[in-house]
Amino acid sequence: MSKRGKALILIGDGLGDWPVAALGDRTPLEAAQRPNMNRLAAEGVSGIMDPIAPGVRAGSDTAHLAMLGYDPFEVYTGRGPFEAMGIGLDVRQGDVAFRCNFATVDDHLTVIDRRAGRIEHGTDQLAAALNGMVIEDVTVLFKESVAHRAGMILRGPGLGDKVTDADPHNEGLQVPEVTGADEPSRKTARVLNEFVRRSYQILRDHPVNAKRASEGLNPANIALPRGAGYAPHLGSFEEHTHLTSACIVEVGLVKGIGRYLSMDVIDVPGATGGLDTDVMAIGSAVIEALQTHDFVLCNVKGPDVAGHDNNPSAKVEIIERIDQMLGMILQDIPPETYIVVTGDHSTPCAYMDHSGDPVPLVLWGPGVRVDDVTDFGERTAAKGGMGRIRGKDILMILTGFLGVQEKFGA
């Protein structure tokens, strides 16, 4: 076994689509000018990929976990830790993560409004007032999300996640005492109960709430955690693959996954995550990262945005720009680089959400078994030599080519 070559997985987020009448019954990918993707198809091997399994509507988080070689059915313990990553909390393996509401309670801690008047502004200041609290030997990391929502993680030794919610889930009820089902979870429960109590003390008199009171709005005077989830022990990407890796992605959630797996997460100025993103800046970062890492994961978010917006022409345009970025990368890659171009799921414009369809995929690089497919699209890729694979197969295929995979058997 000797390591050779490098690999890039280039993902157009939500790339897959359905034929669109306005595009002459072609998909946005099929309608796009894509000379560089077509070159990879002509010189490489194509196929279609089910990010998770056939028919499963993948999220970006589960799909990326799969493409990084983890079986999401095994490692995805729930939304808590991944949602916390998504809002920018630095979740680490072993943390316990929660979803939280800012709520309104009276002096007896009876919940009057579970959404604190659907508060829109000032939650960043409220969250900052709670963030960094230390209870026993546990640190609380707290961050606002949209509206009345927030995320929280508890970091410290010996914590469990088998705890009840601090949220009564109904108005007119008192904030319940959290209980734990085992010894580590009883510690978590103790910390949570203290956190909720202190959150009320801190938020009750916070200037944001004083202002709300003066405007006749319900104050966000308590934080109620629920949905505890243990951040799973996945190890690092390098431990699993023997590859050094970089992650150049626009979606906060996927950045979080990269950090979680100890990949080098590289922020690119100009990468907005929108349709106006600077793909050439992203491409330059990819070229640079390939000089210093064995493996680079790159995700451009735009196609998913256009899919959710049911905007086929915008999807065509961002795919064309991704193709130009690919052209730039192809001019400047180290020798023996393998490139996979695919999507993390389909976001058909007509569906405006992630569908269970497979996505097209092409693999290009030295020694791949070239097939007869000469252009890159949903329908052509389905005729390719790779057949139909799952997201978690990609990394196995790449590690085989990169010479970092042990033989299975004699």
Binding residues for Zn ion, rule: CB under 5 A, are 13, 60, 304, 344
Q: Which C-beta is closer to Zn ion: that of 13 or that of 17? A: 13
CB of 282 to Zn ion, least distance (A): 16
Q: Which C-beta is closer to Zn ion: that of 344 or that of 393? A: 344
Contact (CB, 8 A) for 402 and 1: no
CB of 251 to Zn ion, least distance (A): 7
Q: Which C-beta is closer to Zn ion: that of 161 or that of 304? A: 304
Q: Which C-beta is closer to Zn ion: that of 60 or that of 188? A: 60
- For residue 98, the SS3 value is strand
CB of 28 to Zn ion, least distance (A): 15
Q: Which residue is nearest to Zn ion (CB)?
A: 60
Q: Which C-beta is closer to Zn ion: that of 106 or that of 353? A: 353
CB of 66 to Zn ion, least distance (A): 12
Q: Is 129 exposed, middle or buried (0-12, 13-18, 19+ CB in 10 A)?
A: middle
Q: Which C-beta is closer to Zn ion: that of 344 or that of 357? A: 344
Contacts of 353 (CB under 8 A, 6+ apart): 57, 308, 347
CB of 233 to Zn ion, least distance (A): 25
Contact (CB, 8 A) for 138 and 191: yes
CB of 143 to Zn ion, least distance (A): 21
CB of 348 to Zn ion, least distance (A): 11
CB of 252 to Zn ion, least distance (A): 12
Task: Estimate the share of the chain in helix, then strand, then coil, as percent rounded to the nearest 5.
Answer: 35, 20, 40
Q: Which C-beta is closer to Zn ion: that of 14 or that of 160? A: 14
Angle 324-318-68 from CA coordinates, rounded to 5°: 85
Tallying the residues shown for the chain, one arrives at: 410
The whole-angstrom separation of Cα 297 and Cα 104 is 43
Q: Which C-beta is closer to Zn ion: that of 30 or that of 304? A: 304
Residue-wise over 213-248: b if at least 16 C-beta within 10 A, else e?
A: eeeebbbbbbbbbbebbbbbebeebbebbbbbbbbb
User: Which one-letter amino acid corresponds to residue 256?
Assistant: G
Q: Which two tokens stand for residue 319?
A: 């795919």
Give the DSSP letter string of 349-387: TTTTS-BS--EEEEEESTT----S--S-SHHHHTTSTTE
